[in-house]
Chains A and B, each alone.
Chain A
Amino acid sequence: MTTLLGWLAGLGLVAGLVMGFGVAPREVTQGNVQRIMYLHVPAVWVAYLTFTVGFAASIAYLAGRRPGADRLAHAACEVGTVFLGVNIATGAIWGKPTWGTWWTWDARLTSVAVVFVMFLAYLLLRGAIEDHERGARYGAVLSIVAALNIPLVHFSVYWWRTLHQPPSLLKPGSSTMPRVILTALLVNFAAQALLGAYFVARRARLLAAEEEALA
């Protein structure tokens, strides 16, 4: 199953590249630099998804103390941090030619940086505490608190004046995006979601093997 997910993710990424560079047209206002969107936006959606999985698994762990829930939470939070890192880095690269700066402390960028640092702290915490049960418990609490910040990141563009544009898709009402660009974006999202699922499945299996080795 995990191997199949890996192959599907690989095929999806190739299809995403074809859609992003071969099918989607050059954007009128920004030019070809807008093609970074097919990487930047799906990466944050996958990060949101994996953090939501980590949030639910952490609650399940605190409720039932099942090791499988902790492994899923740990794997999902780690993979989400990787995707959020890609989102922040590609956003900075996209920001330089379009905004004239790599980074600015506006509400969207600051709130996403806070979430990223919180999940980095989660990974450090998991690595620092030797008592596995205690690490899992503290980690579950931290991942829940960190995931609760995600709505703040999403709505920051509405609540404060920001340089970052408001969402084009995850908003009430229909999308104003041209169909071909929307399709390319969704194909890239599907590909990155498959990649994220593959990483989470593989990491969770490795965590199970690590626990077995330590037992």
Chain B
Amino acid sequence: MPDNWTFVAAAYALAALVFGGYWLRLGRMQRELAAARTDREAVRDDRASRSQQPSKTGHPRPEPASRPPLQP
């Protein structure tokens, strides 16, 4: 019977593709989860730092006198 090396190569290449693809998928999922966690921590830290700042007194909007008059 002929050796059919093409079929052997195809079988091993396919297996390498499937196992390698799954391994890469796990790595991508891990990176996405790490990025999401970093984002969540950044938002949490930002909120925590804002809550520690003293509240500013006064009106945040411009004074009415400084506004341009309304056009008829």
Per DSSP, chain B at the interface is helix
A181 to B2, CA, bound (A): 20
Whether, in the assembled complex, A124 has its beta carbon less than 8 Å from a beta carbon of chain B, the answer is no
Judge whether B18 and A82 touch: CB under 8 Å. Answer: yes
Whether, in the assembled complex, B14 has its beta carbon less than 8 Å from a beta carbon of chain A, the answer is yes
Whether, in the assembled complex, B10 has its beta carbon less than 8 Å from a beta carbon of chain A, the answer is yes
Judge whether B1 and A30 touch: CB under 8 Å. Answer: yes
| Chain B residues whose C-beta falls within 8 Å of the C-beta of A199 in the assembled complex | 22-23, 26
Residues of B whose CB lies within 8 Å of any CB of A are: 1-5, 7-8, 10-12, 14-15, 18-19, 22-23, 26, 29-30, 33, 36-37, 40
9 closest cross-chain pairs (CB), A and B = A32-B3, A33-B4, A97-B4, A90-B11, A31-B3, A93-B11, A36-B11, A31-B1, A209-B33
Q: List 21 A-B contacts (CB under 8 A).
A: A30-B1, A31-B1, A31-B3, A33-B3, A33-B8, A35-B8, A36-B11, A43-B15, A82-B22, A90-B11, A93-B7, A93-B11, A94-B11, A97-B7, A195-B19, A199-B23, A202-B30, A206-B26, A206-B29, A210-B33, A213-B40
